[in-house]
Amino acid sequence: MSNKDGKLTRSEAGKKGGKATADSHGDDFYEKNGEKGGEATAKSHDKDHYEKIGEKGGKATAKSHDKDFYEKIGKKGGEQRNK
């Protein structure tokens, strides 16, 4: 939905640009950029930062998943370890 001037909203423009980027670049593009971002974050944040975000993510996951979820991912992890 465009705004009253007939122009794209910021959200629409972002989606359009994101789709154009995804259409013109392959998975390798996103993989390389993600790796660069991860390296930059690792340089600017310490172990404490990763502990905090891991704990936050763990709590959010625990709220939205039941015991069966954890049993399934535990089993998958065990299978991968045994390969």
Kindly report, residue by residue over 18-41, the tens digit of the pLDDT. Answer: 999 999 998 999 999 999 999 999
Contact predicate 3/9, CB 8 Å: yes
How many Cβ atoms are within 10 Å of 8's Cβ, its own excluded?
A: 15
Enumerate the domain spans of the chain: 1-44, 47-83
Q: Is the dihedral of CA 36, 28, 82, 74 positive or negative?
A: positive
* Choice between 80 and 36, residue whose per-residue pLDDT is larger: 36
CA dihedral 70, 35, 38, 34 (to 10 degrees): -70
What's the pTM? Answer: 0.50
pLDDT number for residue 80: 85
